[in-house]
A = this chain, B = another copy of it.
Amino acid sequence: MRIPKKLINDPSKVAKEQLEGLIAANHGRIQAIGDKGAVCVNPLPSPQVAIVTGGGSGHEPMFAGYLGPGLATAAACGDIFAAPPPGVILDAAQAADQGKGVLFVYGNYAGDNMNFDIAAELADDEDIETQTIRIWDDVASAPLSKIKERRGVAGDLFVLKIAGAAAAQGKSLGQVTEITAHARDCTRSVGVALSAGSIPQTGKYNFELPDDELEYGMGLHGEPGVSREKMASADTVVEQLLDRIIEDLPFVAGDKVCLLINNLGSSTVMELLIANRKVHSYLESKNIEVHDTLIGSYCTSQEMAGYSISLLKLDDTLTPLYDAPCHSFALRK
């Protein structure tokens, strides 16, 4: 049995300390709001709809790594794999609001849903108008007929990118909400895990996988996937992942997509690139054009080995918003 080996300090303070490290890495471009996990860009952009995101920590650089011009305005960061409290979300919303309203954009998990909804009520008491887009891009987490039960995973990034770009163009809260919902509806993801991540506070792995098996559809917190199978070649695994994604939207010949191959934690960059080779040849064989390719650690689950693939289907609305410039710790365009 492996023992989780991590360079941390007090295990109960990892969420706080990683956020301090992220703030330091931003060189003044983001700042803490209070000391409970809210963080906001600094200075605020010219008045626009505020994009407020958040969720549990432990998925670095998601979520607070995506604060900056053309992306999110503020984030509420919970403890490791725990939803941020409503008060922290309210802190983020109040810091980000410029009188144009706040769009909450976050992954679809029961705890996050509850706390963001409470925060929306608290914001209403403060005369801050809010709207909400929950992201449910993980095709493995529920059938299409129950899409609102699906989890949000790395596709969060695409949805945040579009939301941030739409807000930066000065669109109204209603318009930004509509476009963000559209981006969410055009995004699909699925992942494969080879080994588990561990939780710093407990020093325990989220799950166990035999040395000769992998699991499709594993969640970002170790939620069970859809099938365990024997280890297979990268090309076989990529085909399995893409088959699930393609048929779900569906993505069809003539489509133009953005691609994200997301390291769930401890996969090598070499493996991500080998996967990318196959993704491109697979999509080319389907006559699906890849407009842009992102590869790296964008939404992690501690040291989980494996990766997820996300596709965003572009159209005349989404393409210019995706291509718009943005500047954050973890994504620059």
Interface residues of A (CB under 8 A from B): 2-3, 5-9, 14, 17-22, 24-25, 27, 57-58, 60-61, 65, 192, 194-195, 197, 200, 211, 214, 231, 233-235, 237, 265-280, 290, 292-293, 295-297, 300, 302-303, 305-307, 329, 332
Contact across chains for A300 and B7 when beta carbons are under 8 A apart: no
Contact across chains for A7 and B211 when beta carbons are under 8 A apart: no
| A5 CB contact (under 8 Å) in B200, B231, B276 | B231
Residues of B within 8 A of A274 (CB): 7-9, 14, 17-18, 21
Residue on B nearest A331 in the bound complex, by CB: B332
Knowing A18-B274, A273-B25, A276-B24, the reply to whether A237 touches B5 (Cβ < 8 A) is no
- The smallest C-beta distance from A312 to any residue of chain B, in angstroms, reads 16
Number of copies: 2
Residues of B within 8 A of A58 (CB): 270
Residue on B nearest A238 in the bound complex, by CB: B7
Residue on B nearest A281 in the bound complex, by CB: B24
- The smallest C-beta distance from A313 to any residue of chain B, in angstroms, reads 18
Q: Which of A237, A265, A277 has the most CB of B within 10 A?
A: A277
Contact across chains for B305 and A5 when beta carbons are under 8 A apart: yes
Contact across chains for B2 and A2 when beta carbons are under 8 A apart: yes
Contact across chains for B277 and A7 when beta carbons are under 8 A apart: no
